[in-house]
Amino acid sequence: MPRVERLGGLILLVSLFLPWYGNHAAVVGTEQGIHVLVSGFGTAWEAFSGFDIVLAVLAVAVVLTPRGRALVGLAALVVVAHLLLDRPEEGFAPPVYGAWIGLAGALLAAWPSTRDWRVLAAGAGGVALLVSLSTRWYLAPWPNESGIEFPPSDWDRFLIVPRSGWDALLVVDLALAALALLVLGVALTRSATVQSVARAVGWLAIVLVAARIVFEPDDTKLAYGAYVALAAAALAWAATWVPQRAAA
């Protein structure tokens, strides 16, 4: 497995020098004017102002660090997933082959070496909940400089802008991220104490996500990300209830 993880780190590092987003442009006409979206990004080094360095450090750490590769690989996977889901240009910049190669490298770097299904379920739930914050939770009309609001009944005629959990949830996103990291701690440390704490407070993630589904922000439409987060929160909390002795 260390060889597979190192290979994933090398693939991720190489992907940073490949195009991550395409050079496409979209012109959208509405009754309020014309909006031009241009996603003229190239490699990861050109497209990102900080995540490129983060990914490079994580990739090198996966290759060189003898311990903690699983944690570093998971961090790289979360970052790559975030960059694929919460893309530039209000989410309209199309990813190209470099991004998918980077995702493949991150997956290899984070590939679990255990067959403990309780650990796998907790890890999958925690990662999915963390990544879900980068997906589309809500859809909103394109911001209009003239100040005229788009009524929801007319949204189909206007450009719809996605809003991720990080964009729309204020402090709730931080709470969900903290709960996701706590559940990941169950998978990574296999500590009974961490498992007990995650079991005691993990239900809060389900409640917070459900509340944001029921009480969505004004002038928005609910998107798939909220439901992904709800399923991930349920899986993560359920995994904390599997007894340690039954997970062998």
Average pLDDT over residues 144-159: 52
**Domain boundary assignment for the chain:** 1-113, 116-248
pLDDT at residue 65, as a whole number: 80
Average pLDDT over residues 95-112: 86
pLDDT at residue 140, as a whole number: 79
CA distances from 189 to 31, 106, 126, 171, 193 (A): 56, 21, 13, 27, 10
Average pLDDT over residues 175-202: 87
Percent of the chain residues past pLDDT 70, beyond the cut: 79
Q: Which amino acid is at 128?
A: A
pLDDT at residue 173, as a whole number: 92
HSE at residue 61, side-chain half, CA atoms within 13 A, is 18
96-100, 139-143, 211-215, range with the lowest pLDDT:
139-143
The secondary structure of residue 91, as a DSSP letter, is G
The pTM of this model reads: 0.74
Are 10 and 105 a contacting pair, CB within 8 Å? Answer: yes
Distance CA 157, CA 54 (A): 40
CA distances from 137 to 209, 216, 225, 228 (A): 10, 9, 4, 9
4-13, 105-114, 157-166, 200-209, range with the lowest pLDDT:
157-166
Tell me the three state secondary structure of residue 246: helix
pLDDT band of residue 37 (cuts 50, 70, 90) is very low
Distance CA 182, CA 244 (A): 17
pLDDT band of residue 35 (cuts 50, 70, 90) is very low
Distance CA 197, CA 199 (A): 5
pLDDT at residue 204, as a whole number: 94
The secondary structure of residue 245, as a DSSP letter, is G
Residue 112: pLDDT over 80: no
pLDDT band of residue 149 (cuts 50, 70, 90) is low
pLDDT at residue 87, as a whole number: 72
How many residues can be counted in the chain? 248
pLDDT at residue 27, as a whole number: 47
Distance CA 28, CA 159 (A): 7
Percent of the chain residues past pLDDT 90, beyond the cut: 26
